[in-house]
Amino acid sequence: MANGDITYSVNVMVDNRRIHRVIGRESEGVTRHQAEEALEALRTQAREERLNLPKGRKSHPSFREQALKYMERLEEGGGRNMKAKRQHVDQLLVPFFGPYKANAITGALVQEYVRTRLKTGIKQATVNRELATLSHLFRRLVKWGWLKPEAVPEIEKGAEPRKRIAVLSDAEIAKLMAAAVADQDPLIWLFIACGLNTAMRHGEIVRIRVSDIDLASRRIYIPEAKAGERHQPITPALTDMIRIHLEGRGNGSEWLFPSHRREGKHPHRVSMAKQFLRVVERAGLDPSKVTPHVMRHTAITRLVKAGVDLPTIQKISGHKTMLMVLRYVHIHGEHIDAAIAAIDMRFSERITPELHAA
């Protein structure tokens, strides 16, 4: 300064905006070391996106920028369904929403995206999967502190035709397990046993940690699921199978389904779809109908037919809403069979084509 004093200040660029901050004067006791410490603190806050900038001064990044960071972070953390998410983000969401600021995307704009996709002949079910990725992206931006909750747009999925709930018969289950035991993958039989004895989802099963299994109380702790964390009940039969399996393998991986690749991206299996398909074909079942999710349908349907109350079924299945559980009840509930029995009419004469023609 003209009077010989020294002023320490910092100039930083944030989202193409220059931010100027005065640290203090030497005459006020501020040293160069303190200024360097303040600079490093600002750098740390910038990396963590915690810069306490004056309101209205910080320009919010574009959707394109946030989407790329979202994918990078998921890749680092081992996100689920990465192939589909990458396709949705790179090929569809970024080309449409990319130029907009992430905090300026509205529900109306989302609906415009939906209309644009449907006009090209894309089915509603496919668009809904894309919207699921968009919704997950925004939820993660909020969770990581990159976006305020009030900036998240309303994302409404369209109605889509319900698929028939396929279930396995006892004979089909026996064939499936026999084929699984004979398969070259030593863990596919346990995967199927878990699916049929818990109603857990595919992704939940492959992410089971050994430390989260409580054989004494017959529970598996699931830290992350669609409806949040839960303690999954398991059957006595599965409890015995897991116990014998763990005793047989000794001190191994922390995962019940560890990755078979030593240098893989994930320490546990990400998917058992290929092995399951192989087992289904070996069992002589229809691969187009028998998927890993059918095991979940089968287990829930058995609970319904056994007359288990709805809250308990929801507790076991981990459904977020009771509405999803009611789908199974409406199809397989005992009250349906009892009701149809009321109009069960038999005829004294056997109806034959000849008799009908007469």
More confident residue, 40 or 246: 246
Band of pLDDT at residue 79, cut at 50, 70 and 90: confident
pLDDT for 255 beyond 60: yes
- Cβ(313)–Cβ(304) below 8 Å: yes
Cα 58 to Cα 46: distance, rounded to the nearest angstrom: 12
User: Coil, strand, or helix at residue 254?
Assistant: coil
Q: What is the mean pLDDT of residues 178-183?
A: 96
Q: Kind and range of the H or E element at 21?
A: strand 17-25
- Domain extent listing, the chain: 7-47, 63-151, 170-339
> What pTM, to 2 d.p., does this model score?
0.61
- Cβ(107)–Cβ(154) below 8 Å: yes
Cα 47 to Cα 60: distance, rounded to the nearest angstrom: 15
The predicted-structure confidence for 101-136, as pLDDT tens digits, reads as follows 999 899 999 999 999 999 999 999 999 999 999 999
Q: How many DSSP H helices and E strands does the chain contain? A: 16, 5
pLDDT for 176 beyond 80: yes
Band of pLDDT at residue 160, cut at 50, 70 and 90: confident
Most confident option among 246-250, 255-259, 324-328: 255-259
Q: What integer pLDDT is reported at residue 252 of this predicted model? A: 76
Cα 234 to Cα 93: distance, rounded to the nearest angstrom: 40
Q: Which two tokens stand for residue 228?
A: 């949040």
- Cβ(198)–Cβ(234) below 8 Å: yes
Domain topology for 170-339: hpI Integrase; Chain A (1.10.443)
Matching CATH number, 63-151, of 1.10.1660, 1.10.150, 1.20.120, 2.40.350: 1.10.150
Q: What integer pLDDT is reported at residue 129 of this predicted model? A: 94
Q: What is the mean pLDDT of residues 17-43?
A: 76
